[in-house]
Amino acid sequence: MMNFPEKLKGYLLVALSGTLWGTGFLYIQYILDHGLESQDLVSWKMIVGFVTLFLCAFFKDRQLLRIDRKGFLYLVFMAIVCHILYNLAMYAAIERTNIATTVSLMYTAPVFVLLIARVAFKERLTGIKIIAVIICVVGAFLTSTGGSLAVLDTDVIGIILGLFTGLCYAIMNLLSKKLLKTYKQLTILIYTFGIAFILSLSFSNPLAAF
């Protein structure tokens, strides 16, 4: 078996996750185009993620299933904002606009991270951070649109939903950074997926897929 240096392994995992995340939008568009409601798709995403990760933890290390009350409350908030609201807004934005528009707006997330970090955590707003955010946003725009404004859809509600997706994504990054200091990543994902699925049943009907 090949042994990759940790740094190289990290780069490869980032590339793989980016590839999987990017191609996921194509599947989302296909599923939505074939009649499954966005709220039902949210439920399916949550339950599949929960069951898969729960089984991994159950057979690998059951200590990963333990959580304290404070952590649980954080994860409830994260499940609502970073899974339910994020996914509903993202799918609705795709339906009202298109993938290129939604992805471009979602990548306003670094801007929101910068603003929230400045207001909530009093982090310094340095020139390096501003330049990095500009490069990130411009890069996401060029990647998703090929540099052509013609592929973007100007539906106002769709644009608002796309920006809201960016805000939720920013909150997810900030919360994850805080929670990972105390809890394992797998623990966070298991609970947020599970909580989000249970809450999603109040507005969805996953069985409608059949």
Burial of 150 per CB tally in 10 Å (0-12, 13-18, 19+) = exposed
Q: Is residue 158 assigned to a domain?
A: yes
Q: Is residue 151 assigned to a domain?
A: yes
In the chain, pLDDT over 90 holds for what percent of residues? 42
Cβ–Cβ < 8 Å for 42, 84: yes
Is residue 2 pLDDT above 60, yes or no?
no
Domains identified in the chain, total number: 1
Q: What average pLDDT does the chain have?
A: 87
Q: Is residue 144 assigned to a domain?
A: yes
- 51-87: b or e for each residue (b if 16 or more CB lie within 10 Å)? eebbeebeeeeeebeebeeebeebbeebbbbbbbbbb
| Secondary structure of residue 151 in the 3-state scheme | helix
Domain hosting residue 161, numbered range: 72-187
Considering 121-125, 159-163, 188-192, the range whose residues carry the highest mean pLDDT is 188-192
Q: Is residue 24 assigned to a domain?
A: no
Q: Is residue 205 assigned to a domain?
A: no
Q: For position 17, what pLDDT does the model report?
A: 81
